[in-house]
Structure 1
Amino acid sequence: MWFSKSSKEVLKELDVNPATGLSNQEAQKRLEKYGENKLKAKPKKSLLSLFLAQLNDMLIYVLLAAAVITLVIGEYVDAIIIILVVLINAFVGLIQESKAEKAIEALQQMTTPRTLVKRDGEIKEINSEHVVPGDIVVIDAGRFIPADIRLVESVNLQIEESALTGESVPTDKDSNTIFEDPKTPIGDRSNMLFMSTLSTYGRGEGVVVGTGMETEMGSIAKALDEDVDEMTPLQRRLDELGKVLGFICIGICAVIFIVALIQGRELFDMFLTAISLAVAAIPEGLAAIVAIVLSIGVTKMSKINAIVRKLPAVETLGSVNVICSDKTGTLTQNKMTVVKHYVMNHLKDVPAEGAGFKGSDDENELIKSFVLCSDATYENGQGTGDPTEVALIVLGNRHNMTKNDLNQKYKRVGEKPFDSDRKLMSTLNEEGNGYRVHTKGAIDNILQIATHALVDGQVVPLTEELKQQYLQITLEMSNDALRVLGAAYKDVDSIIDADEMENGLTVIGLVGMIDPPRLEVKDSIAEAKMAGIRSIMITGDHKNTAVAIARQLGIADSIEQSLTGAEIDQMSDDEFAQKINNYRVFARVSPEHKVKIVKAFKSHGNIVSMTGDGVNDAPSLKNADIGVAMGITGTDVSKGASDMILTDDNFSTIVHAVEEGRNIYNNIKKAVIFLLSCNLGEVICIFLAILLNWPIPLIATQLLWINLVTDSLPALALGMDPGDKDVMKEKPRDPKESFFANGAGFRAILGGTLIGLLTLGAFYFGLVEHGHYIGEVNMPEEAITYARTMAFVVLAVSQLFYSLTMRNSKKSIFQVGFMTNKLLIGAIIAGIFLQFIVISVPFLADAFGVQMLTLFDWGVVLVFSLIPFLVNEAVKGFMRLKDK
């Protein structure tokens, strides 16, 4: 009962010093002893169960039944081929599913929450899974609680425990409370923090008392691992399409069977043909191909620093036409540097390098307040914490006022953490025989609550004239694209509550700092503009500062394109929505304004991406079509609410992700249209032959072989196409757009019709070449076999060649480049080689009912097979001329 013991007793029992934490060696020993800090996941499916799942399909059952019937009647070769095709198909599905699962597992590893712990006297950020009992955990606003923790220290700490208790209102926590009643309810244990709950305010430190299944979460066996097989909207649409096509094909097969019955054909052969055609015509491989392309795509995106948490985001990325981005760290380098400081009547530049500067008493008071009123650290050239605070610590170091020295001399005894609504932070520190409040934040907010000012060492009333001087200097700094922070103080006799800190303050002065734009962002914004995407800057900075940076980056042209949070508040929601398209910069905004901005852009039918990193950014991230969290500065809350995480916090990564998302969607579309063309070609060929009372041009085993080899391999290669380098010159895709829009449906029908008719043509050519004609009575089996061989090879090779022209819906293959997708070239060569093996190796030729072709016939095959490819290239050429 950790909650009934004092923090000292708990620390002693777990053998840990709260100042230094565990040693790395001890932590490793405990990790081996207690295991990783995670709940037991659902047992993974075995390879056998995954394999059997591939066979769980009605058409496969029918095919297996057909195999059994062929065995019974002694057609062993046909039975073996049918079973082999089913097994190979299942193995391909198994490999694809395993790859998709591994990719998703890898992404889950990359999005595992991180935890701040003390190890060997240093604060380190580690994966939550590596937290062990006895670890000293540092908690700040926005972090998930990684394990069950007994608090050792807390300041205004609030925890949202709905994941455990169902209570959505955050609970106040107090490290000093002890509960003697062993039956104290979980929700009342204010000295304890529990795994999977969320810190929303304040800060604290605690010692881990339970991990993994030994936590409260573990005791109620709440499984955290979510099912990852949820289908994306695209997969659902394709699954529905597959079902519709399936019913159509089954209908066609039924018609074929009835017509064959009327025509007096061999019923068993027609039964096999109808079943094989149904299996070949229904694109059951669609879902598998989409899954593998999506999983490979998200793995590829993770390598460019964009971790996609939710697969539907990949589809949505291609439709994004508004990117709302934070300024600091995303558009800029996140390396704040103080370049000016001001106390009344004294504005000074801070030299670029060096240390040991001596300032006036007022300047020293200004810097002292900034350093004491911060939680960042800076040691050995490395800073942790907010970049703005790091810049202030560096300023203190250069004036020989280090944070460690000041903290020892002026011990902190209270604080009021930064709040995005107040835009202020205050600390209460010991000062002589009394205490001093140090406040830093937005200078205009400080001026609203201050009553005095420090002028040349004297405290004087804060007049309107003095206020205007501070505001004038703020304006000048902002016009130079500097971020301005003010500092103030108040002396008190005793420790006061946080609510009493921020009133009656004395203004000391202000500093101007700059975070220069990222060098690559300007080009990315230009690229986004070319792609029909508007870039919007959202910042808590002063309007002039924001506009100055926006101008440098090409986001805005003038200050008229900017709006402040206060100005947003003066508009009604309808008025704001009407005017939203006039603005490119939103300054001095709160998280609530972010939600308004997202909703206003979405009201015009825009697909909006929004970045965020704070606890309060979660609502805007959820409201956006693509919520983007910062991987470096982002809180666990913002990451949990997001669809995508940027591991480098860089705006350019969003643009690269949009490009990748567009190419992934296009690749899926290519693969699907190609498969439908091939399947349609097979259906047309068989259906027309039966309606015209021709001999069957393709037998069941040949159809199954083609479905396996010449459909699947090129479709997968198309799904992994390198993509179009000019994809960002096109407008964003309308999310409501049909999958068959922009001529895709026409291309599928055209390709399928040509492939089907040419296969019939090849069959006819084979008969005529042997001196026979359609309708001839007692036609020799040798002639039909030769004609079927021609049809078999033309159907396969025409599909393989046709895959080349599917690489781009507008550009010629000569513009795209034949060798830019080596996987596809490999699939085509492998397909032709396998066709050659099947017709030239005697026992395979006998099994598939084919024979060797002459050199002349191979020439005919190539001519027939190239026609769908050439026609589609001609259609694209005509479309390009029409566009010009």
Structure 2
Amino acid sequence: MYESFTTPQLEETFHTHSSTGLSSTEADERLRQSGENILKKGKDQTILDMIMEQLNDPMIFILFMAAAISMLLRQFSDTAIIFVVIALNTTVGVIQEGRAKKAMDALKKMTAPSAVVKRDGIYKKIPASFVVPGDLVKIEAGDQVPADIRLIKVQGFHTNESALTGESMPVQKTDTVLSQGIPMAEWKNIAFMSTEAMKGSAEGIVVATGMETELGKIAGMINDTPTELTPLQKRLGDLGKILSIVAVVLCAALFLLGVVQHRNILQMLLVAISLAVAAIPEGLPAVVTIVLALGVARMVKVNTIIRKLPAVETLGSVGIICSDKTGTLTENKMKVVEIYGDDRKLPLSQVRRREFPRLMEGFLLCNNSMLGKQEIGDSTELALLHMGEEMGYNREKLKEQYPRTYEIPFDSERKYMATVHRDGSNETVYVKGACDYLLERCAFVAVRGKAVPMTEVQRMKIRMAMEGMAQDGLRVLALAYKEHVKDKSESALTGSLVFAGMAGMMDPPRKEVTQSIRTLKKAGVQVAMITGDYKDTALAVAKKIGIADSMDQCVTGAELDNMSEERFAKKMKDLRVFARVTPAHKVKIVSRFRKNGQIVAMTGDGVNDAPSLQAADIGIAMGRNGTDVAKNAADMVLTDDNFSTIEKAMEEGRGIYVNIKKSILFLLSSNFGEIITMFVAVLLSLETPLKASHILWVNLITDSLPALALGVDKNDPASLMRKKPRDPNEGLFAHGGWLFTVFYGMLISAITLYAFHRGGQTYAFTVLGVSQLFHAIGMRDRDKSVLRMNHLDNPFMILAFFLGLALQVMVTEVPYFVQAFQTVQLSFGEWQWLLGISAIPLLMHEILLLPGLISGRRKRQ
């Protein structure tokens, strides 16, 4: 609201003086009352807090239950294995997420270390943390603004607000009173905390410090944004609850059934408990964690750092990417793209070297910026200098050849700057500025190197060219000149000028972005642009890269404020460009997309992006040019700042989800086979076909390496990116998953019971274990024949199969293990028969792929 206050109103409100500032006594008292000018952090998490957070998971509770059951069975080795799994899962989670709460620390580091204030009428340099509301602060070019300051004196003052507001251009500040209620990005008379002074100087009264500043409000939003579970975490949580209920019900049902049949109660209790262990795939959390961790390692190779493990999987279900424009979709560097001269408008790429010499020389001479190892100055002037280099001009030689003798500095009211240069015995003035202002002062126009009187037709043509550039989102600067200058009064220097031409410049889109957006659209992923820039500029960029086609797809932050929630929700499906938005708007936009049922990714690099990065399902920060605040608020960081990297990361994320689902279906169908085997045997009053130690052993060889091998399987990238994003409400058992689990579970149970009928417990034990190893091979691709799979793509599966087979042979052939597991040694012929029976799940996989069956199966999916 202070943008609408006059200086006397500010003095009255803050009980200060615009010339002498506060007294030291008053400043000290205010510091005690309002606190230091720092950003408050949320409660720090201890290592114990992070460990407890990792352990607070349904699947971990199941593991603890399995460990307790194993201890009751006196299977201490299995108890130890389960605790190792828990420790591994917790350790990896703490390491990956231990740095996830550092956004506030980074914000604190961004605050200015010192400030120049006027107290008792004397300028003093103090720590920025001691600045208080009402302080009179002086800011020079290169300073970092220490607080939110209402400017009362300005001299060519510009600030870089791109990290805070998303505005790509340096903002020229003013000390004039503005109307109340305009958007924050339009507060030209307020300098914001942590922004950088680019040029000029200013004085102002501090109107907000610490958490009350605009930066502080962003910090508050970061703290207030709740942490959401990813789709995979929700699914695994639901699965854990289901398995817990199933385990309890099975235990009770089987125990009661044994009591009714007058079986040995202690024996039935042991069988019931071992069935509960069978119902719980204790290797699942470890498999999921390891698969995600391996995915993280692979993603580093495609320039992506994952800060939170579950974010890898979330990428696969993203339906819309909300992207910041400046620095993400664009290069964050102004560049001249069009030139108007000699009554022609040309793309810069078509301008010949040394063409339009007067225009080019004028832009280089009437320029106060500098190139070098460090570029200094206004971004538009730097763009003109780069253009001059590209056109083959040497600015330093030009400056020596035509030394500057006089200058009229740029002023926001006159909208131009002028410089006078000596050319032998004569002097020439160059005037650079807004086209409208210069055109009024031009009586001539340069055509093919000669100054001719300007006609109304030419004037109209220039205006049309200027309007066309503006509609394309270009920032337009015009240049005029006059030779043989004698009178250096401003009216003489800027009257009867010769119009030389115009340069249209913009922050250009990154080269690879257009193709990436096209690929993402084919994969069913939409892209929306969210920016602090003006509507026309944003739409121009959006059109170039294929995000939007018309103004109907654009909306500004001010329009959002005037829109009802109902209308906003209805219009949201058509909107693709959001311009002149604040950090609060960004959070609102992301939240609305999520309420519409979409999984949302948000990209950004500035402080203003941090709250929305946290509010999104997955926040993606830029690694090179991004602020620490954005990086620490995000789930993943692009080390090359390349929007196209998101496409590769998304492909990896989709593949990881497919593999995790393979592992889950394999584990559950295999464990279901164990449950049915035991339950049917007891129901039919048969002897128990498996001992508790048999069940635990089979779980050991199948719940580990085969499941992990499926988790690292190689998928076809083209196939992954042709599919639409996964429905966020889709369960792990969608597309026939439950039917698949039950079918293969019953098949494994049937062949195990048949083997038990033929040869007793050793036969059943062997078939149960080996059949699951064959089942794992078929699980690599449910829609492809095993004969068409490239098994060398997954050498880990080959290792898992033969190692598991070797371990199963060991418990029937090595005397020590034969005695421990109470098995019998098998002949070569018996092994041949048992291997043939165990391969039935793989044979059934091939049968289901027959033309008639597979087409029906796909229709069901």
Assess same fold via TM > 0.5.
Answer: yes
* Secondary structure in structure 2 of the residue aligned to 1:379: coil
Gaps of at least 5 residues in structure 2 are 1-42, 119-127, 141-145, 152-163, 165-191, 200-209, 212-218, 422-428, 447-453, 481-487, 489-497
Q: Are the counterparts in 2 of residues 144 and 199 from structure 1 also a CA contact under 8 Å?
A: no
Equivalent position to 2:65, from 59, 75, 78: 59
Residue number among 823, 833, 858 corresponding to 1:850 in the alignment: 823
Match of 2:792 in 1: 819
Q: Which of the numbers 637, 648, 657 marks the counterpart of 2:640?
A: 648
Q: CA deviation at 1:834?
A: 0.7
Deviation at 1:620, TM superposition (A): 5.3
Deviation of residue 730 (structure 1)? 1.4
Q: Which amino acid aligns with 2:636?
A: M
The within-5 A match list for 1:89-100 is 89-100=82-93
d(CA) in 1 for partners of 2:407 and 2:706?
67
Residue type matched to 1:628 in 2?
Answer: I
CA distance in 2, matches of 1:812, 1:170: 76
Tell me if 1:243 matches 2:241.
Answer: yes
1:556-577 superposed Cα distances (whole Å, 9 cap, x missing partner): 6xx5587555799499566676
Match of 2:580 in 1: 590
Q: Is 1:145 the equivalent of 2:151?
A: no
Aligned counterpart, 1:201:
195
Deviation at 1:813, TM superposition (A): 3.7
**AA aligned opposite 1:793:** T
* Native 8 Å contact 1:340 1:512 kept in 2: yes
1:486 aligns with 477
- Tell me how far apart the structure 2 counterparts of residues 753 and 401 of structure 1 sit (CA, whole Å): 82
1:875 aligns with 2:848: yes
SS in 2 for 1:591: coil
Q: What is the deviation of 1:735?
A: 0.3
**Within the alignment, does 1:763 sit opposite 2:756 as a pair?**
yes
Change (3 A) 1:416 1:278: farther
Spell out, residue by residue over 1:114-149, the C-alpha distance to the aligned partner (whole angstroms, 9 max, x if none): 9xxxxxxxxxxxxx99xxxxxxxxxxxxx7625882
Query: Quick one: distance in 1 between partners of 2:516 and 2:382?
Result: 28
Paired residues of 2:312 and 2:656 also in contact (CA < 8 A) = yes
Give the conservation status (yes or no) of the 8 Å contact 1:103–1:299. Answer: no
Distance 1:606-1:747 versus aligned 2 partners, 3 A rule: same
**2:622 counterpart of 1:630:** yes
Q: Following the alignment from structure 2 to structure 1, what is the Cα–Cα distance between the partners of residues 264 and 604?
A: 68
Q: Distance in 2 between matches of 1:802 and 1:467?
A: 80
| Cα shift at 1:651 | 2.6
What aligned pairs does 1:326-337 form with structure 2 within 5 A after superposition?
330=328, 337=335
Q: 1:204, 1:603 → 2: CA distance? A: 40
Query: What is the aligned counterpart of 1:298 among 275, 296, 300?
Result: 296
Pick the aligned partner of 1:392 from 372, 384, 406: 384
In the TM superposition, residue 654 of structure 1 has moved relative to its aligned partner by 1.6
Q: Secondary structure at the match of 2:113?
A: strand
Does residue 744 (structure 1) correspond to residue 733 (structure 2)? The answer is no
| Aligned match of 1:864 | 837
Q: Is the 1:453–1:508 Cα contact (8 Å) retained in structure 2?
A: no
8 Å CA contact 1:410, 1:429 repeated in 2? no
User: Residues of 1 paired with 2:322 and 2:656: CA distance?
Assistant: 23
Q: Spell out, residue by residue over 1:621-675, the C-alpha distance to the aligned partner (whole angstroms, 9 max, x if none).
A: 5565444333333344444554433222223212222212212222222212222
Change (3 A) 1:385 1:544: closer
> Which residue identity is paired with 1:856?
G
Secondary structure of 1:740's aligned partner: coil
Q: TM (normalized to structure 1)?
A: 0.65
Amino acid at match of 1:150: S
Change (3 A) 1:83 1:580: closer
**CA 1:187–1:60: 2 relative to 1, 3 Å:** farther
Q: 1:297 Cα shift?
A: 2.4
Does residue 692 of structure 2 align to residue 700 of structure 1? yes
Distance 1:413 1:294 in 2: 62
Partner residue, 2:667: 675
Higher relative contact order (CA 8 A, sep 6+): 2
Per-residue deviation, 1:842: 0.2
Matches within 5 A, 1:346-365: 359-360=357-358, 364=361
Contact 1:323 1:534 in 2 (8 A): yes
Distance 2:117 2:776 in 1: 65
Secondary structure of the residue that 1:851 maps to in structure 2?
A: coil
| Mapping of residues 15-30 of structure 1, within 5 Å | none
Q: Which runs of 5+ in 1 are unaligned?
A: 1-38, 68-78, 115-127, 130-142, 155-162, 177-184, 191-196, 206-215, 418-423, 441-445, 494-505, 767-786
Which whole-Å CA distance do the structure 1 matches of 2:714 and 2:350 have between them? 45
Q: 1:250 to 1:287 in 2, by over 3 A?
A: same
Corresponding residue SS for 1:145: helix
**2:765 aligned with 1:792, yes or no?**
yes
Shift of 1:747: 1.0
Check conservation: 2:317, 2:725, Cα contact below 8 A. yes
Q: What does residue range 605-616 of structure 1 map to in structure 2 within 5 Å?
A: 605-616=597-608
CA contact (8 A) 1:613 1:629 kept: yes
Classify 1:99/1:43 alpha carbon distance in 2 versus 1 (closer, same or farther; 3 Å).
closer
Check if 1:323 corresponds to 2:360.
Answer: no
Maintained 8 Å contact 1:325/1:538: yes
Query: Which segment drifts farther, 567-576 or 845-854?
Result: 567-576
CA–CA distance in structure 2, aligned partners of residues 597 and 521 of structure 1? 22
Alpha-carbon deviation of 1:841? 0.7
Distance 1:399 1:315, change over 3 A: same
Q: Cα deviations across residues 11-43 of structure 1 (Å, max 9, x unaligned)? A: xxxxxxxxxxxxxxxxxxxxxxxxxxxx99845
Q: Distance in 2 between matches of 1:225 and 1:596?
A: 16
Give the superposition deviation at 1:806. Answer: 2.1
List per-residue Cα deviations over 1:291-312 (Å, max 9, x = no partner). Answer: 3323332333233123344445
Within the alignment, does 1:661 sit opposite 2:661 as a pair?
no
**Is 1:289 paired with 2:287?**
yes
RMSD: 5.9
In structure 2, the residue corresponding to 1:291 is in which secondary structure? Answer: helix
CA contact (8 A) 1:294 1:311 kept: yes
The alpha-carbon distance between structure 1 residues 230 and 322, as it changes in their structure 2 partners (threshold 3 A), is closer
Partner AA of 1:297 in structure 2: G
Separation in 2, partners of 1:615, 1:171: 25
Aligned to 1:269: 267
Distance in 2 (CA, whole Å) between partners of 1:238 and 1:863 is 35
The structure-2 alpha-carbon separation of the partners of 1:351 and 1:805, relative to structure 1 and needing over 3 Å to count, comes to closer
Tell me whether 287-296 or 347-356 shows the greater mean CA deviation. Answer: 347-356
Question: 2:314·2:617 contact (CA, 8 Å) conserved in 1?
Answer: yes
Whole-angstrom distance in 2 between the partners of 1:404 and 1:641? 48
Q: What is the aligned partner in structure 2 of residue 137 from structure 1? A: none
Distance 2:527 2:317 in 1: 14
Structure 1 Cα separation of the partners of residues 89 and 266 of structure 2: 34
Q: Following the alignment from structure 1 to structure 2, what is the Cα–Cα distance between the partners of residues 40 and 590?
A: 34
Distance 1:616 1:88, change over 3 A: closer
Q: Which residue identity does 2:197 align to in structure 1? A: R
Report the CA distance between 1:318 and its aligned residue. Answer: 2.0
Structural mapping, 1:69-108, within 5 Å: 79=74, 82-104=75-97
Give the partner amino acid of 1:590. R
- For the 8 Å contact 1:614–1:635, the answer to whether it is kept is yes
Task: Determine if contact 1:235/1:287 at 8 Å carries over to the other structure.
Answer: no
What TM-score does the superposition give when structure 2 sets the normalisation length? 0.66
